[in-house]
């Protein structure tokens, strides 16, 4: 198990009522006009549908500290232990 992850990105849709998608983008040094987009599912540590992560607006920049867990239905996700929102 990976014990510590820091994830930064923009909040996107909520799915399965309590998971939130965080979207990250990176550029290829050799192809600067192309972006690689990752959409990572995140679950807040309380595992409740009503939480600060799900109450925030779409496209809010977020910094999440947590760890990886897995779900039989859709695979790996980040369990968020600490969440910070930044206005960009």
pLDDT tens sequence across 21-44: 999 988 888 888 888 899 999 999
Tell me, yes or no, whether 57 lies in a domain: yes
CATH of the domain at 25: 2.40.50.140
Tell me, yes or no, whether 88 lies in a domain: no
Q: What DSSP line would sit under 8-69, residue for residue? A: EEEEEEEETTTEEEEEEEEEETTEEEEEEEEEEEEEETT--SSSHHHHSPTT-EEEEEEEEE
Tell me, yes or no, whether 17 lies in a domain: yes
Report pLDDT for 2: 61
Q: How many domains does the chain have?
A: 1
Its domain, for residue 39, covers 5-83
Mean pLDDT of successive 10-residue segments in the chain (88 residues)? 85 93 90 88 92 94 95 90 89
């Amino acid at each position: 198990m990976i014990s510590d992850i820091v994830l930064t990105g923009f909040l996107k849709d909520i799915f399965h009522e309590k998971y939130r998608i965080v979207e990250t983008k990176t550029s290829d040094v050799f192809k600067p006009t192309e972006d690689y987009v990752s959409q990572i599912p995140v679950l807040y540590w309380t595992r409740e549908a009503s939480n600060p992560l799900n109450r925030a607006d779409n496209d809010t920049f977020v910094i999440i500290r947590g760890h990886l867990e897995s779900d039989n239905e859709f695979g790996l996700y980040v369990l968020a232990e600490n969440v910070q929102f930044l206005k960009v």
